[in-house]
Amino acid sequence: MSFGHRLHTALAERGPLCAGVDPHSALLQEWGLSDDVAGLERFALTAVEALAPVVSVVKPQSAFFERFGSRGVAVLERVVAEAKAAGALVLLDVKRGDIGSTSAAYADAYLDPASPLGSDAVTVSPFLGFGSLDPFVDAARRHGGGLFVLALTSNKEGPEVQAAVSADGDTVAGTVLGHLRRLNADTDPLGSFGAVVGATIGATEEDLAFGGPVLAPGFGAQGGTVADLRRLFGSAAAVLPSSSREVLRRGPSVEAMRAEAHRLNDELRA
């Protein structure tokens, strides 16, 4: 079953909220945990216990695990496995992008179910040229996985590249969305190749009807509202508003984090 099909089912059953698991040092401190592997493990696995049974997608940010080296990556492997076991789809936020055999190795690491980090989908960067993502596209098709490709990010530096216009008159972001539209052609009910579009970008003239899902980081504590989502993504096939701090700051209480996830899902559904 394709990632797009699994995601379509999950959204109908669990709602659109994507719960980020971002164990950065400030949040560990807020929870009263030490900024070390023991604190990381307690934080991340508690978040998974609270959120993976109730949200459609759990999105661990790999960097916050990698900063502790191999022991941190071992915790990330447990996060991936336990989130899947609880019924959530796992979107591993790594934003990788390279060429040739290196790109293929990244794809195998994150999309092959035989890998300890094998996830349902992964974030990738197309800014070495969209064709550099071909190994990821091939691996996603082979393993029933998905991609979320950076297109319109909310960081202030993003437009320097993403709004640049090529010789054919398309913006870089528009070119990325065009490639995704072709990859998702004739897929039902939802394509497996998504775009990352920040919930706080304000406005865009790009066509977001490309047949795949939109990952919309920045919802909640970072300023993105339900009104922003409606205004920006009315033409999108499916939208995953992503929130981490809004939910994780309710911890370390499992019940409080789960209640906040339910509240946000209800708000998004309404």
Half-sphere exposure of 186 toward its Cβ, with a 13 Å CA cutoff? Answer: 0
- Identify the active-site residue in 59, 84, 95, 156: 95
Length of the chain: 270
Sequence-ordered alpha helix ranges (H) in 3-158: 3-14, 25-30, 37-51, 63-66, 70-85, 100-111, 134-143
Q: Please, what's the b/e burial string for 20-58 (b: 16 or more CB within 10 A of its CB; e: otherwise)?
A: bbbbbeebbeebebebebebbbbbbbbbbebbbebbbbb
Phi-psi region of 178 (alpha: psi -120 to 50; beta: other; left: phi over 0): alpha
Q: Is 84 a catalytic residue?
A: no
Give catalytic residue positions.
Answer: 95
